Structure formats: structure tokens, C-alpha cells
Amino acid sequence: MTQHKFSFGLWTVGNVGRDPFGEPVRKTLSPVEIVHLLAEVGAWGVNFHDNDLVPIDASASQKAQIVTDFKQALKDTGLVVPMATTNLFGDPAFKDGAFTSNDPAVRAYALQKTMAAMDLGAEFGAKTYVFWGGREGSETDASKNLLEGLKWFREALNFLCEYSNAQGYGYRFALEAKPNEPRGDIFLPTTGAMLGFIQTLDQPEMVGVNPEVAHETMAGLNFTHAVAQAIDAGKLFHIDLNDQNSGRYDQDYRFGAQNYKQSFFLVKLLQDAGYDGPLHFDAHAYRSEDLEGVKDFARGCMRTYEILAEKVKRFNADAEIQALLAQINAPNAEVEPFRGAYTPERAAALKAYQFDRQALGARGLGYEKLDQLTFELLMGAR
């Protein structure tokens, strides 16, 4: 069994291959079948939206049977449920948003639905609760008062934090950003925007982020930088791994399928920072695949992470790479006295110091060599 906490959502390996231009190519798997599939490929955990597990129109008796069967599957396989979330984007009621809909009845229904979904997640032991506002946005800004929308979103999260505390669930909330799709524009489109918004909440300590590779990459941003900001803020509560080409629709490719070097630097950041939370693969197999191909996809996500984690160890132990990094980051005894917190004396000394600006600009930094050595290590040439 891997040391990493690899998890998949029911909607990932359960994806039937439908897209806007084509019908399903794979049969629908039940939640129980998906749990057993994930156990077969060696996963640690399984996550769900409320309606991935229990259909939105299920009766009380149907729900009870589904929950019983799912619990038995978890017991039989040893899989855990680390994260749960709510589908607030699929039903027509949410066509103009959930927490930020202009319709107060829709906003109230979204709260009701989320509380029920939190109850369901807690029943299976989930401790992270993700919020992806897929419909929280607009196609025309004539339709929305943007400040009111943000206020409504804030009020909803404050309410749900209090609900979690009142029930003793111990949830940590993780907000997931995306710039667009399915809406023309989605509110709070980046991880950085989410981090700023969190500080306006009543209980910001309960709320972090769930950044996703594809979502930042769609907008042409460097995902690893976004994750670093989340780690620096102490807010990386969960992470969604997949792959994506910049400037495209949300492709949700197998982790590492496109951007090998970027995936390496992401794994390096997570490993070096000591991140030990779930590694959730929010991706799906190519539409070309059958059930065996879905298993290949799931194994591939995990195997890619393990390979890159091993490459991180080699990078950190490579004598030439580490010598070059030591040279790049060499201390300078002359300016060492200027480091540290502000003091009047330090400020005065720094203002009086004469820097050789030409020498600073003339120094070669060795980044070309460092990048080539990294490439060679990733390609197995060193």
C-alpha cells in the first residue's frame, strides 16, 4: 500500500464519457462498484458530492439502503471518506447560482441542501468539506450586483460554519476556485482571490482552499505558485490533482498527462513542504476507454505521483544540482547585517551602504544549467 493518501471522487472513475458532443461510452457504475474498483487499483479514499451517492429525488427508504450498502462497501474494502461536497450546479434550480442566486428562495434551498449533504458526509467520517461554486457567477454583469453576490456568499459560509460547529462535525471548509465554465465568469476565480475572501469571514480559521491544477492552468496561471501561496497562508486544506492545457476547456486529464515538468515542481513543493493531507485526483479517463482503461487511468494517476515523488528525492540528493543551488543561494557576508526586522540603526546602515549595481546586474545565475539538469533528471538521463 502506498504511503500517500490517494483518493478519487465517485464522479471521476464513475465518469461515463459523455461530453457536449457525444453520448456516454461506458456504463454507469454504482457507488458500491466504484468503491470496489478503487480498492482494486490501490486507492486510499473515496469522495462524493451528495447526489453522486444519493440521487436528488431518492426517497427516505432508498437513501437508507444506499447508505447501508455504501458503508458495507467501505468496511469490506477499508477505504475511507476524507472529503464530501454538495452538488450546487447540476439541478436547473441553480442555473443562476446557489449561494449567490438573485432568487432568495434558491439561496435558502442551497443552504438546506448543503446542510443535508454535510450531515451525509459526517455520517461517513469526512472531515474536509469542499465548496466549488460552479454556478456562482454570470454571463452578463447587468444581471448581478457583484457586491451583493459576494455578501450572500459570505453569509452562506458564515451560516454553514456555525452549523458545522453546532453539530460537532469538526469540518474544515475548502473553497475551490475556477475562472469560468460552466458560467461565463465565476466569482472568486483564483486561489488567491479565495484566500483574500476567506479573511472576510467570521471564522476564517475554519476555512482554507482546495486548489485544482486544471482550474488555475485554464487561465494561464502557474498552479504551483498558487499552491505555494496557500501553503504559506496555512490554508492548503485539500488539493485536486489532474492535468490541463492552458487556454482550453476544463480537460481534467490524468495527473501528469500533459505537463511533466510542472507536475514535478508541484509534487516537489508538496513533498518539501511536508503536506500530508489527501491527494485527490479530480480527473477522468479518456473517452476512448472502457472499464479496464478507467482502471489504467486511476493507476496511472497514482503511479505518476509516486514516480515524481521519487524524482524529488533524487533532485534533493543530486550532488551537482544541490551544489549549483548552493552557489545560486550563497550568503553574502557584507549584506548580512542588513537582514532582519526593522531597527533605526539597520535602516540607517542600509541607506548608507554603497552597492555595485553593475556587478549585481552582470552576475550570471546558472538557471539555464539548473533547468537542463532538472530535465535530464526527469528524463532518466542522470
3-state secondary structure at position 144 = coil
Q: Give the mean model confidence (pLDDT) for residues 79-104.
A: 98
Q: For residues 128 and 175, is the Cβ–Cβ distance under 8 A? A: no
Q: Is 176 annotated as a binding residue?
A: yes
Check residue 285 and give its pLDDT: 98
Say whether 212 counts as a known binding-site residue.
Answer: yes
**Do residues 114 and 160 lie in contact, with contact meaning Cβ atoms separated by under 8 Å?**
yes
Q: What pLDDT digit, counting tens, does each position of 296-339 carry?
A: 999 999 999 999 999 999 999 999 999 999 999 999 999 999 99
- What band does 155 get if pLDDT is binned at 50, 70 and 90? very high
Sequence-ordered alpha helix ranges (H) in the chain: 10-13, 31-41, 50-53, 60-77, 104-123, 146-167, 191-198, 213-218, 223-232, 260-273, 291-317, 319-328, 344-352, 357-362, 367-378
Mutual angle of helices 31-41 and 291-317, in 10-degree steps: 40
Helix (H, G, I), strand (E, B) or coil at 192: helix
Grid cell at residue 348:
540607517
Residue with cell 461536497: 85
Q: Is the pLDDT of residue 346 over 50?
A: yes
Which grid coordinates belong to 40? Answer: 482494486
C-alpha distances in Å from residue 147, one per residue of 94, 144, 153: 19, 9, 10
DSSP state of 255: T
- Predicted TM-score (pTM) of this structure: 0.97
- Residues 212-238 pLDDT 10s: 999 999 999 999 999 999 999 999 999
pLDDT (tens digit, 9 = 90+) per residue, 51-67?
999 999 999 999 999 99
Q: How many CB atoms lie within 10 A of CB 74?
A: 20
Out of 49, 238, 280, 284, the active site residue is: 49
Residue type, 316: N
CB 133 within 8 A of CB 153: yes
Question: Where residue 2 falls among pLDDT bands split at 50, 70, 90?
Answer: low
> Tell me, what's the pLDDT at 236?
98
Q: pLDDT of 263-296, one tens digit each?
A: 999 999 999 999 999 999 999 999 999 999 999 9
The fraction of the chain above a pLDDT of 70, given in percent, is 99
* 6-316: CATH architecture: Alpha-Beta Barrel (3.20)
Of 4, 36, 52, 318, catalytic: 52
If you average pLDDT over residues 170-180, what whole number do you get? 98
H/E element holding 137?
strand 137-138
Q: How confident is the model at residue 1 (pLDDT cuts 50, 70, 90)?
A: very low
Q: Is 282 annotated as a binding residue?
A: yes
Q: Which of 315, 343, 306, 289 is nearest to 43 (CA)?
A: 306
Is 69 labeled as catalytic in the residue annotation?
no
- 304 burial via Cβ count (<10 Å: 0-12, 13-18, 19+): buried
Q: Do the annotations mark residue 280 as ligand-binding?
A: no
Q: What is the pLDDT of residue 326?
A: 98
CB 83 within 8 A of CB 280: yes
* pLDDT at site 3: 84
Note if 49 is an active site residue.
yes
Q: Cα(138)–Cα(312) distance, rounded to whole angstroms?
A: 41
- Which residue, 284, 279, 273, is CA-closest to 305? 279
Q: Domain map of the chain by residue range?
A: 6-316, 318-379
Q: pLDDT band at residue 115, thresholds of 50, 70 and 90? A: very high
If we measure between CA atoms, which residue out of 52, 59, 18 comes closest to residue 32?
A: 52
| 240 annotated ligand binder | yes
pLDDT band, very low/low/confident/very high, at 145 (cuts 50, 70, 90): very high
Burial grade of 241 (CB within 10 A; 0-12, 13-18, 19 or more): buried
